[in-house]
Amino acid sequence: MGRRVPAEVESRVRAAREARGLSQAELARRAGLSRQALSAIEAGRYLPNTAVALRLAQALGCAVEDLFAFLSSATVRARLAEDSPAVRVRLGRVRSQLVAWPLWGPAAPLPADGTVAHRRGRAATVALVPGRVTPERTLFLAGCDPALRIAGTLAEATGRVGVHWIPTGSARALEALRDGLVHVAGTHLHPPEDPDGTRTIRAALGSTGAVVVAVARWVEGLMLRPGVRVRSPEDLLRRGVRVVNRERGSGSRVVFDRWLAAAGVPADRVAGYRRELPSHLSVAEAVANGLADAGPGVLPVARLYGLDFLPLVEQRYDLVIPEDLVDTEPVRVVMDVIAGRRFRQELAAIGGYDLTCAGSVRKLEGC
């Protein structure tokens, strides 16, 4: 049929097919291909030989160069993962879709795969930076646990994959997974009525089957500036005590809100409650730098920043992987790292992680 696609070639077959309203099965029939072969071509896994390329072009009523292009001499079209003023992006392919994550905020200093030359809504034209990791070998990993950055660094050290960590809360990570913007999402949304998070994950992913891999258990609670005494929600009402909060949908915010509600403390009476930050690290930095006295977070991060900690609940941190992405090479590499000794050693050295459940797997069937 062909050969593996060189790193500098982009397949635009799927976009051309969808623009003409053809199903994958119908195009395969018209071009005299198996559906599996067409799927591989559309996903950018194989470059067809001349005869197959000509048949595809004829079936789609276009030129061969409209279906395949050299990235080194052209820009690529990608879907922006989020609205951002940033023009520098990291590129990765999630299934057959090329996704661009803007490099801004904590990610701003990272090397870019390209720059946005033009955008219309979430559709972008990206000019590529030569020599970067190919999109097919890049894994997008969303979640709030800083250990995911360690896992990504260890995975990249194998030379087989590039990893871009998107530090975000559990709800947003699951939404990005549902929308095809990341390959793996981390979550610790395990409320009392859904202790293993199954219903929460199903609600987010809909009919998509998934594999859930446990990373570790950790303690959630309040990260405190050293010397600040907080033992109950009422202590947050003292004059001069200021908090900083996580965004809605994050696991730590859910725990914090439940703690306040159980004590009957109105959230709007807590000074700083509406100041929201997007990660455990940003909350810890605010508290460590004296910009707040307390904020919801987890014990491992409090230890990293030398903060005091008020424990509230113990929960498990899971990674969720759509069933159809489990056997892709970038996912396999990262999962091997998380199951490996080196990663466990790193977490044990940080402290605050219970690794007893690490690596346990359960499967959620699609609806």
pLDDT digits (tens, 9 = 90+) for 75-132: 889 999 999 888 999 999 999 899 999 999 888 999 999 999 888 889 999 988 877 7
Instruction: State the residue range of the domain holding 18.
Output: 2-69
pLDDT at 176 over 90: yes
Same domain? 88 vs 22: no
- Identify the domain boundary among 107, 132, 157: 132
- Has this prediction a pTM greater than 0.75? yes
The CA-based dihedral angle spanning residues 269, 286, 102, 209, taken in that order and rounded to the nearest 10 degrees = -60
DSSP secondary structure letters along 41-90:
HHTTSEEE-HHHHHHHHHHHTS-HHHHEEEGGGS-EEEEESS--S--EEE
Amino acid identity of residue 255, one-letter, is V
Place 8 in a pLDDT band, splitting at 50, 70 and 90.
low
Span 287-314, pLDDT tens digits: 999 999 999 999 999 999 999 999 999 9
Q: Name the domain boundary from 93, 112, 132.
A: 132
Using pLDDT thresholds of 50, 70 and 90, give the confidence band for residue 366.
Answer: low
- 109 and 213 co-located in one domain: no
Q: Is the pLDDT of residue 16 over 90?
A: no
- Predicted confidence (pLDDT) at residue 71 exceeds the cutoff of 70: no
Which phi and psi angles does 316 have, rounded to 5°?
A: -100, 145
Neighbours of 306 (CB within 10 A): 9
Give the single-character DSSP code of 215: E
**308: number of Cβ within 10 Å:** 16
How many domains, in total, are found in the chain? 3
Q: pLDDT higher for 49 or 134? A: 49
- Whether 139 and 64 share a structural domain: no
Residue type, 65: E
- Say whether pLDDT at 5 is over 70: no
247 and 324 together in one domain: yes
Quick one: how far is CA 351 from the chain centroid? 24
Angle at 340 between CA 328 and CA 346, to 5 degrees: 120
Confidence of residue 70 (pLDDT cuts 50, 70, 90): low
Tally Cβ neighbours within 10 Å of residue 149.
16
pLDDT digit string, tens, across residues 42-51: 887 788 899 9
For the chain, the maximum distance between any two Cα atoms, rounded to a whole number of angstroms, is 77
Specify the pLDDT at position 253.
Answer: 96
pLDDT tens digits, 27-39: 999 999 999 999 8
**292 and 200, same structural domain?**
yes
Q: What is the CATH classification number for the domain harbouring 177?
A: 3.40.190.290
